[in-house]
């Protein structure tokens, strides 16, 4: 079963001087029903172009967009309008109607589909409860926080019971705690309503928190696609490795980040970030490393974190040893299904 399928999708823009920009260069992608699929990429990678092709706001130059078995390009205007009701969309800047209250914003798409007022009232109440907005029905958008605005946008996007929710950087304008709350809301909606979610983001944290699978978009091509856990444990491309490295740097405690250098200099040793699934016991690993590979280790941090719903152990180690011992140690860890990433060098403290 497939909910969203993109086949050889191409999108070009022409500039006023007639030069062409190839924003999408033959995208193939499938998203299953009930899945949260993330697309991550740098600015200009083509993320918004891709999502606009999926919701029919943009017409591809070639290829197909198939949603729930229907090829968007084969639909006539009324059919396309009907189809677009199956697609909810949320944006970075919320796109709410400022002259309308929370209630009226959520009711808006239902008015457009000529829903009877009594049905609208019931539906809006349900949506406000689902999105945590109860009690705010009479507020205007300028009276709301960013997180509340995004909740209104989500409720509005769900009003016509779409099959698919598309999100274009929906948390990029929010602070970390609000981002977390909105992501948890999306996760809840996905679980309770079985709604398929396609989201685009430039933030690894978003992918890590809620996505089942992801793809990396780079210069209009998908260069890597994976289940989220495999991605963090076995990134394939250099771009993927860089994304993960930048993300772990960002997670690093401030005092460590301050000490980190990116080149090996006299007296500096590598800083390794180990990550492993579930309860892979950490102490035997470390003991083995010290005994068998003549390495000196300094454990700077050991903690449990979550990727989606899975538990992942993370350790930060300063590692001192001969190059060949460092290499064997890394190989040993890889065999034990521990992902090792060298995030930089630090002055050895032990």
Q: Which spans of this chain sit near ligand ATP (rule: CB under 6 A)?
A: 13, 21, 23, 41, 43-49, 202
First to last CA, the chain: 55
Nearer to Mg ion, 48 or 150 (CB): 48
**Could you tell which of Mg ion, ligand ATP, none binds residue 46, using a CB distance below 5 to 8 A set by kind?**
ligand ATP
| Choice between 62 and 304, CB closer to ligand ATP | 62
Q: Identify what 60 binds: Mg ion, ligand ATP, none; CB under 5 to 8 Å per kind.
A: none
Q: What is the DSSP letter of 115?
A: -
Q: Measured from the CB of residue 89, what is the shortest distance to Mg ion in angstroms?
A: 13
Tell me how far, at minimum, the Cβ of 41 lies from ligand ATP, in Å.
5
Residue 23 binds which entry of ligand ATP, Mg ion, none, with Cβ cut-offs from 5 to 8 Å by kind? Answer: ligand ATP
263 CA to centre of own chain: 31
Residue with the two structure tokens 């993300």: 247
Q: Given the complex with ligand ATP, which of 31 and 312 has the nearer CB atom?
A: 31
CB of 252 to Mg ion, least distance (A): 28
What is the enclosing helix (H) or strand (E) of 295?
none
Beta carbon nearer to ligand ATP, 202 or 288 = 202
Dist. CA 93–CA 100, nearest whole Å:
16
Provide the minimum distance between the beta carbon of 177 and ligand ATP in the complex, in angstroms, as a whole number: 23
Q: Work out how close the CB of 195 gets to ligand ATP at its nearest, in angstroms, rounded to a whole number.
A: 23
97 neighbors 104 (Cβ within 8 angstroms): yes
- The Cα 187–Cα 232 span in angstroms is 20
Q: In angstroms, give the least distance from the CB of 31 to ligand ATP.
A: 18
Residue owning tokens 């589909």:
113
> How far is the C-alpha of 170 from the C-alpha of 201, rounded, in Å?
8
Tokens 């990029």 belong to residue: 172
CB 332 within 8 A of CB 288: yes
What angle, 0 to 180 degrees and rounded to 10, lies between the N-to-C axes of helices 146-158 and 176-193? 20
Smaller CB separation from ligand ATP, 49 or 131 = 49
29 or 289, CB closer to ligand ATP? 29
- DSSP string for residues in 75-102: --HHHHHHHHHTEEEEETT----TTSBH
By CB under 5 A, name the binding residues for Mg ion. 47-48
Picked from Mg ion, ligand ATP, none, the partner binding residue 275 (CB below 5 to 8 A depending on kind) is: none
Tell me whether residue 23 or residue 228 sits nearer to ligand ATP (CB atom).
Answer: 23
Alpha helices in 159-297 (DSSP H): 176-193, 204-210, 228-233, 238-251, 254-259, 282-292
User: Residue 45 or residue 159: which is nearer to ligand ATP going by CB?
Assistant: 45
CB of 262 to ligand ATP, least distance (A): 25
Report how far residue 167's alpha carbon sits from residue 38's, in angstroms, rounded to the nearest whole number.
Answer: 9
- Nearest distance, CB of residue 29 and Mg ion, angstroms: 17
Beta-carbon contacts of 205 under 8 Å, excluding residues fewer than 6 positions away, are: 176, 179, 247
The residue with its CB nearest to Mg ion is: 48
Binding-site partner at residue 99 among Mg ion, ligand ATP, none, CB < 5 to 8 Å by type: none
Residue 45 binding partner per list ligand ATP, Mg ion, none, with a CB distance cut-off of 5 to 8 Å that depends on partner kind = ligand ATP
Q: Which does 88 bind (CB under 5 to 8 A by kind): ligand ATP, Mg ion, none?
A: none
């Amino acid at each position: 079963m497939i909910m969203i399928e993109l086949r050889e999708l191409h999108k070009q823009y022409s500039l006023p001087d007639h030069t062409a920009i190839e924003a999408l260069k033959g995208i193939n992608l499938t998203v299953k029903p009930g899945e949260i699929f993330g697309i991550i990429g740098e600015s200009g990678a083509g993320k918004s172009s891709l999502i606009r092709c999926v919701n029919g706001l943009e017409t591809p130059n070639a290829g197909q967009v198939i949603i729930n078995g229907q090829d968007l390009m084969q639909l006539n205007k009324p059919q396309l309008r009907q189809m677009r009701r199956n697609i909810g969309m949320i944006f970075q800047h919320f796109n709410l109607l400022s002259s309308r209250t929370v209630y009226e914003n959520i009711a808006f798409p239902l008015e457009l589909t000529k829903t009877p007022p009594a049905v609208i009232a019931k539906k809006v109440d349900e949506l406000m409860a689902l999105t945590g907005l109860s009690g705010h029905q009479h507020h205007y958008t300028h009276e709301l926080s960013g997180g509340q605005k995004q909740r209104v946008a989500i409720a509005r996007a769900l009003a016509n019971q779409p099959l698919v929710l598309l999100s274009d950087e929906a948390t990029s304008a929010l602070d970390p705690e609000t981002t977390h709350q909105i992501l948890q809301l999306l996760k809840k909606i996905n679980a309770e309503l079985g709604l398929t979610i396609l989201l685009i983001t430039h933030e690894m944290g978003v992918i890590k928190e809620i996505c089942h699978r992801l793809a990396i978009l780079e210069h209009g091509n998908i260069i890597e696609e994976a289940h989220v856990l495999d991605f963090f444990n076995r990134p394939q491309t250099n771009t993927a490795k860089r994304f993960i490295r930048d993300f772990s740097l960002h997670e690093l405690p401030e005092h460590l980040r301050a000490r980190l250098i990116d080149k090996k200099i006299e007296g500096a040793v590598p800083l390794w970030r180990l990550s492993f699934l579930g309860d892979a016991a950490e102490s035997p690993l470390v003991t083995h490393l010290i005994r068998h590979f003549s390495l000196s280790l300094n454990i700077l941090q050991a903690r449990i974190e979550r990727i989606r719903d899975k538990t992942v152990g993370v350790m930060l180690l300063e590692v001192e040893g001969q190059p060949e011992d460092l290499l064997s140690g890394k190989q040993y860890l890889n065999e034990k299904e521990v992902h090792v990433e060298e995030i930089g060098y630090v002055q050895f403290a032990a």
